[in-house]
Chains A and B, each alone.
Chain A
Amino acid sequence: MKILDDKKINEKVFAGRLSCQLPVYIVPKPHYKSMYAVLAIKYGSVNRNYFLNESYHEMPSGIAHFLEHKMFDMPDGTNTLNEFSLHGADCNAFTSKDLTAYYFDATENFSENLEILIKMVMTPFYTEESVNKERGIISQEIKMVEDNPSFIAYQNILTMLFGDCPVSEPIAGTQESINLITPELLYRCHENFYRPRNMALAIVGDLEPEKTFNLADLYLKKYYDDSASPTPVPDALVCNRAARTRKTTEYASVSAPQLLFAISFTPQLVGKNYLKQKLTAEFTLQILFGPSSDFYAKNYCDNNIRSDFGIEVEYISNISFIILGGETKNPNILADFIIETLDSAKEQINSEKLERTKRAFIGSYIRSWEDFEEIALSFIEGEFYQYNPLDIYTISQSIEVADCLNFIYNDMSKNRAISILLPQKE
């Protein structure tokens, strides 16, 4: 293992690769009782279609999420959630657009819980009966999610920005698509994607790094991933949309109108360039729309925005976009203000504001190093997007006004989406 360290914040990270080829990151946290481990697969809802051995394979939408649900069943009929409980651990999982993650946190029995986690994720077991039962449960989940106004607005944004493309599909799929999922397809996806070279393990807690590394190596020994064996290549996301502003307005079960405003941009795909662009985008948006901005001051006092007004920069595989919004008295006026602010970015962004934003970032960066889940997931993302999270501090402080303006005027596209939700009439 090699040691990555950040003397500024007094953290050491042990990074290595197990003999089965799985990348591992261990962050020792002396004197803490909690221990956290996450095993993630670089396989999310957008990766459903892929090339393998020169043929193209199309899988039903929602398969990565379905697979995640089924991982908790073991061949001996037990459910691993009980196993974790018995060993004093809290376990959960999630599927996102670009990855699936299984994690636990515990204050005891770390090695036993790690073994359960690894065995669970590496052991596929699907039957007709269990798949049919899960279909019923997921069908309920889809219904619940489809009722959620936030989901409706976000879906509208994706469809407007990216059209008919896997990124626009709901993670859980649709009622129709989940009917096409069979045990055979699940086995195939597990075999193709749940393999050490396509995964990463991150562990945080009061643990001895060498010992923990060797333990993980032992539990994963039999899953050696030969680089010579054929590897599936997920289809790149192709979203051919004529660049223009699109808008939808609909009624939903909300107590006040809501606005979401998004713009796609050309992503830096991996590495330090990715990190720099992401931080530049975040700082630029904070300067233009954050709580210290003129935009925020004007609109907060006019009650055009509330304290739930959010700003996100999202990267999914080879596409990316910024998204802002929240509750508002008048969504159309707010959308106009956003456009006006973007159009006057050159006047809004100066070095005084940028320096203040970079300084404010230091506090949130330091806070992030106290949240075990955040630490672990940042190393997972770093592995999948090929960067070292410990570079974040230096890169953040190196950003200049020219970088912010470059993001606005060169990276950001003319492809814009506006989603408005209005309260249902009584």
Chain B
Amino acid sequence: MRIGGNVLLKDAAAVQSYAYDMYRPLGNLQNVISHLDDYECDEICITRPTRNVDPIASFDSDIHFLKYINSSTPISFGGGLRSTHHIEKLVGLPIERLHFSSAFIIKNIELILYAKKLFGGQAIQCCLPISRINKEFYVLNSATNRYCELNEIDFEFINLYANEIILIDTNNEGYNHAFDFRILDQIKLNPRKILLSGGMSTESIYRAKKLGVTGILIDNKILHCENSIWKIKHGKM
């Protein structure tokens, strides 16, 4: 099972977030990436936490920083990838994979196939931010900032076009031992195509491994000394 790190990129700087809401500055993105390289993280997932309107100037600014990132660890990038124009700007950047969220929710097949042509089918990931509201699970469409019921999501389409699917427990993002595994009961997908994120720590990692998921992405705590990925990977916890 792969163990990766989830890093948020907001206004050209790395941030931490809690429950998909509060943001706290983390500093220079390259510093964060360099630490994850040193920890021998299996992969790094860089996400722009976009909600609704995402000005192209903001995207360009973030891409500008991404262009100069130096890392020998595989990187997946996403957040605000909503047109072919966005995809074209990513060609040649030091990233291997792309993750799409609203594009899969609204079934933007043209965009997904365009990305597949430029980056390969193996590079396409689907990212589903999931929230539990009044005992029911919903998927957040970041482009409209609206929650969708699970039965509105075409999981067959996602399974067909996404190489892997990232499930984010937004309620517990940034917290300890908190990932809600009931999400997997609601979303019937091949565990070998699933990565989990949001409230991941040691106990949840062991449980994820037993369930046979392909990987986990540790969110906020990844750089904290007391919960570092290095310790998790090398069995020091």
Query: Does B associate with A?
Result: no
Contact residues of B with A, CB < 8 Å? none
Chain A residues in the interface with B (C-beta under 8 A) = none
